[in-house]
Structure 1
Amino acid sequence: MQTMMKNDIRRMDLHCRSNNAAHHTDEISTRQLIVRRGQPFVLTLEMRNPFQRSDILQLTVETGPAPSGGDGTQCSFGNPAPFYASGTKAIWRYDIDPRSVLQRGVVTLSVVPPADAPVGRYFLSAETNSGRTCRESLVVLFNPWCSDDWVYLPDEKQKQEYVLNEQGAIYTGTAHYPTEMRWEFGQFEEEMVDICLKLLDVNPKYLRDPAKDVSARCNPIYVSRVVSAMINSNDDMGVLTGCWQGSYSDGISPSRWTGSVSILQRWYQTGCRAVKYGQCWVFAGVMCTVMRFFGIPCRVVTNFNSAHDTDNSLTIDEYFSDHGLNSRDGVDSIWNFHVWVEGWMKRPDLHKSNIYDGWQVLDATPQEKSGGVFCCGPAPVTAVLRGDLDLKYDTPFVFSEVNADVVKWLVSSDGSKRKIHSLCDTARVGQKISTKAIGCFARDDITNRYKFKEGSSQERTVYNQAVQRLNSKEDYAACQMMPPKGVDMVLKEETRLQNGEDIHLRLKLSNMEKKNKKMYIHINGQAMKYTRKHIQNFLYTMLQKTLLAGQDMDIPIHIPFSAYSKYMVDFDSIKVSILASDDDGDVYETEMDFALEHPPISVKVVGNARLNRPMTMQVEFKNPLNETLRGCSLTVIGCGLFRSDYLESELSDLGPNSTLTMVITTMPYKLGLKTVMVDFDCSYFRDVKGSCTVNVTP
């Protein structure tokens, strides 16, 4: 009888460079194996002796602190073929590749991680009949290229944008003036491997039950919900601390950030201590980075005039004094904008059909608790559109953010209140819902994915059904429309609204009735935060005008730079509100919120950008004022270009109408199209941002 020859494994080659390229992870690393589930990768074993296909060769993969076949966190596979119990999850397999040279002991395997494998770091070991093993590690991610994966995204251009693009845009400002802010996601920086896996390993669910948590990481619904909770630090070891009032002196102002990498690096390098500070667009930008790293298609979405409805009434009450100022802050609010993310995934937990598959709202900004934790989503965008508010997760809250009606009240000096004439505003909340367009820096308006056209029968039907599901008839009656108004007021800008210049607006009044009206007009200008918290009233004018029957009247409004300049250094926007009453006692209101444009800053590359060779950039900023700019500083970032933020904190004062020119040198360390982003601060302007694209060649 012939005795089987013992055979040892001398070496295991993971082919990191070629495997990672095939799995779209080579931008992260070519030194460690990073693969996507449901897609084969190649490894080669070099044996001490020739190998036959009938020889024993078992591979074992394990993830987490307590690997278990029943949990899908451990799997042994190969020859001899193991027996798997019915219902076993995450079964791996391999085939011997034709490229093998078995007579020389070179065994090349095509290994397939299952499409339901938990994501994370694995240890892979190979064992022959000698009993000796060879052990290596790899990282497994979700796979939007695999049709069996719940995050499968068919369109290649969408995958390029929502998984592979490291640069993006976040929209801020106001519905009247959306502004684009470039953001560096940087999900393919090599440090993201350890950082994003650490984020999962310190989440409270893992700390309570590690085995259960790791097993659940097969599910993008579960992972995205954990990430939503871990980006904020309200009830865990999360990444960011939010701050919407007070000083940022013990941290960094939210508006200073221009990318996610610095934030995630600081969190990781300080032992998972929360980074100060973030606001909604920062939470969303960082979450998008983590989601794209894990392989879940993700995009950042801005909702202009975003409601925060705390009592599920689907109405927001606003109160005004006789002079037109907001008389009190309610528990409900409308922010100029709010930013969240959408993740792409299947939702078989909601319906047998695929009706709720696709984009899901996820919000890392800590607003309300969900399941006892500050997180939000995933809420299917389709469910928001249809008003299906009984579906997981947090769909009623998201519905109200884009659909709440606004009721405005006039509060008299004695405390009594009455509705302002004709103002139950059904269209104000949820405007210009925006994300970056695919393949270019343009704004893609996706409002129609969240709600039917404002005022349409479909939109009102969905809204009314939602109200009836959530509230009593008494609450619903409070939001019925009032009779048509007798005077129409429209506020428009006359010139471009730029910080550093006077503001020119025009108020147009139209008398819709057949009689003259004596009008009492209150004009207010206020510095505001983007949350619409009032900071300071810097303009008040009271006018009396006679508006002839059926006629129009134009009233110019002039706001000098000197009136608002000191407030716009630290705050985000200006609100101009008009409250008017006529001699019949009817009250009318209109307003305009706008964020001022900053003076431009330019950045350009001088010469060519070559890999691992010095690259020179030039930054220029012209002072548009007749005043000296003091306390000037400049921050420059760029994934693949700067390994950490470049900060020049002590720049010279910049005299009136003079130009700052700075030359910066760096060493690109990645090939391809990269983005340089700059942020300039001084005594009159904060967070003046600019960017340029760099093509790094070999």
Structure 2
Amino acid sequence: MVEEPLTSLSPLLLIFVFSVTAIKSVDFHCRSNNTAHYTIEISTKELIVRRGQSFLLTLNMTQPFNATDTLVLTVETGRSPGTQWCVVFESNDAFSVLGMVTLSVTPPADAPVGKYSLSANTGRGKTPLGTLVVLFNPWCSDDWVFLPDERERQEYVLNEQGTIYVGTEYYPRPRDWIFGQFEEDMVDICLKILDVNPKHTKDPADDVSARCNPIYVSRVISAMINSNGDHGVLTGRWDGIYNDGERPDSWLGSVRILRKWYKTSCRPVKYGQCWVFAGVMCTVMRFFGIPCRVVTNFQSAHDTHNNLTIDYYHGENGAQPRDSGDSVWNYHVWVEGWMKRPDLKKGNSYDGWQVLDPTPQEKSEGVFCCGPAPVAAILQGDTNLKYDVPFVFAEVNADIVKWMVRANGSKIKMNSDSKKVGKSISTKAVGYNRRTDLTNNYKHAEGKNLSSVRKTSSIFYCFLNQETKIKSGQDIHLKLKLCNRDRTNRTMSIYINAQGMRYTGVPVSHILNTVQEKMLLSGQGLQFFSHSISYS
């Protein structure tokens, strides 16, 4: 007979009590259990299970059961195990003859993830029996990471290969990435990431207890993938100098990075940029069982002043003499993790995909991490929520404001663009090696800009167009459309300034600075001025 389990508030210590004599051996049924728990790709020798789902455990006794004997079977994690969860078994004649018993054990759906030790106590001391690893369970409806669609579970939890998009909004370029979350040594590596995080160092018991919460765990992972302020995995670098490490574009996947970090006693690996940080985080998230996908935002704003504008300052000759700290990256890569958000007290409105960004841009509650920020909240502009929703909202919605700085230091607002940021937000399609556009998940469809069709009363106006889309290694061809509505002809001074720029929007080199004059005839409508910038 099996009694009902006692209520558990913090299942750090699971205890099963039996009337038996002694245990000779334990069969963890690793192959069959791991197959049922979708962890067979990780190991056939170590028991790795998902919470909220049963697994089998067979105890082989040294002799037939004695009703007067007792044994306590303990499963615990962390340094200070707490509340107990008990099941009581009574022996019967069948078990006495066979001398073994097979148990069906179910970790609670809110059990902390991590490595547990299994031991037995027969009254003559504690005998270690082995270990098991418990992960989140997107197949369990009671788990906060439950993902209903099986095809999405196959893609966002089990797929070890993927695609990260880089390039430009006009030419999104797929970059293959090997996540490798089921390599066998990922167990020790990913658990080590949690164990060396500063919160665990400060209060191990509190940290281990909090690992029941995917919101907490994903935020810790976001902080630990970068090395700013902790023993994180990767050091970022954007200045092009990589002599003492490896170029960010040399990495083909996460496994070599994570192994190098682990084998060098948690020394940060040099170097990464946004797509590398995101790729590594996706690996760790998928290992722990949190559904995760890599997302690229083209024309991504970095708003350092929290004012939802990206300010650019140009001199009278067109050059950028002043850095506001704001920038627009050609692209920026983060991840989305799937989980419930009951902490927001908004019903289930903001459950689902959450933005998490391990690239160290700004601090969040004193730590270089970002998220989880609900994608649905970003879409609705509900920015008064945890975590970091205003920052991510600005990445996809900020206005670009350009200022001209005069010689005397005064500045004039030249123009504002509300449509440049947040383009072609991309991820790999479920089950296919093609791009899926997520822009409508983040932004409402932009209405027609009426200001662009209203007649203007200005005497002069101009439009700058690229005659062809810019491709790497080719000349740039520009066409300036000018119109003179005055009654007299006018001579225009046209300043052309070109600067090299990193994908993060930071100017790095001077290319061209020239001024040309053009006579604008009165009453001639649109007049054209063309100019080419040579690649060489």
Structure 1 match to 2:58: 44
Structure 2 match to 1:525: 498
Structure 2 match to 1:333: 327
Q: Which whole-Å CA distance do the structure 2 matches of 1:80 and 1:129 have between them?
A: 17
SS for the counterpart of 1:190 is coil
1:26 aligns with 2:18: no
1:77 aligns with 2:87: yes
Q: Shift of residue 552 of structure 1?
A: 4.3
Q: Shift of residue 282 of structure 1?
A: 1.4
Q: Which whole-Å CA distance do the structure 2 matches of 1:331 and 1:178 have between them?
A: 26
1:492 aligns with 2:466: yes
For 1:311, the aligned partner's letter is: H
Structure 2 match to 1:542: 515
Q: Shift of residue 151 of structure 1?
A: 0.3
Say if 1:134 and 1:278 are closer, same or farther in 2 by CA, change over 3 A. Answer: closer
Q: Shift of residue 51 of structure 1?
A: 5.1
Q: Shift of residue 156 of structure 1?
A: 0.9
1:207 aligns with 2:180: no
CA contact (8 A) 1:57 1:80 kept: no
Structure 2 match to 1:476: none
1:447 aligns with 2:451: no
CA contact (8 A) 1:12 1:134 kept: no
Q: Shift of residue 547 of structure 1?
A: 5.2
Structure 2 match to 1:505: 477
Q: Which moved more, 1:26-35 or 1:327-336?
A: 327-336
Say if 1:5 and 1:532 are closer, same or farther in 2 by CA, change over 3 A. Answer: closer
Structure 2 match to 1:9: 23
For 1:79, the aligned partner's letter is: F
Q: How many residues align?
A: 511
Structure 2 match to 1:433: 425
Say if 1:527 and 1:55 are closer, same or farther in 2 by CA, change over 3 A. Answer: same
Q: Shift of residue 416 of structure 1?
A: 2.3
1:156 aligns with 2:166: no
Question: 1:173-572 to 2 correspondence within 5 Å?
Answer: 173-245=167-239, 247-420=241-414, 423-455=415-447, 487-494=461-468, 497-499=471-473, 502-507=474-479, 509=481, 511=483, 518-546=491-519, 549=523, 551-553=525-527, 555-561=529-535, 563=536
For 1:148, the aligned partner's letter is: D
Q: Which whole-Å CA distance do the structure 1 matches of 2:221 and 2:39 have between them?
A: 21
For 1:503, the aligned partner's letter is: D
Cα RMSD of the aligned pairs, angstroms, is 2.9
Q: Shift of residue 537 of structure 1?
A: 2.0
Say if 1:11 and 1:279 are closer, same or farther in 2 by CA, change over 3 A. Answer: same
Q: Shift of residue 456 of structure 1?
A: 6.8
CA contact (8 A) 1:56 1:80 kept: no
For 1:487, the aligned partner's letter is: Y
Q: Shift of residue 54 of structure 1?
A: 11
Structure 1 match to 2:160: 166
TM-score of the superposed pair, with normalisation by structure 1: 0.68
CA contact (8 A) 2:19 2:67 kept: no
Say if 1:313 and 1:290 are closer, same or farther in 2 by CA, change over 3 A. Answer: same
What fraction of aligned residue pairs are identical, expressed as a percent? 60
CA contact (8 A) 1:492 1:505 kept: yes
Say if 1:315 and 1:134 are closer, same or farther in 2 by CA, change over 3 A. Answer: closer
Q: Which whole-Å CA distance do the structure 2 matches of 1:201 and 1:5 have between them?
A: 37
Which one of 47, 56, 59 corresponds to residue 73 of structure 2? 59
Q: Which whole-Å CA distance do the structure 2 matches of 1:78 and 1:306 have between them?
A: 57
Say if 1:79 and 1:527 are closer, same or farther in 2 by CA, change over 3 A. Answer: same
Structure with the bigger RCO (C-alpha within 8 Å, sep 6+) is 2
Q: Which whole-Å CA distance do the structure 2 matches of 1:272 and 1:112 have between them?
A: 34
**1:418-458 CA-partner distances (Å, limit 9, x unpaired):** 122xx21111121222111111222211111112122479x
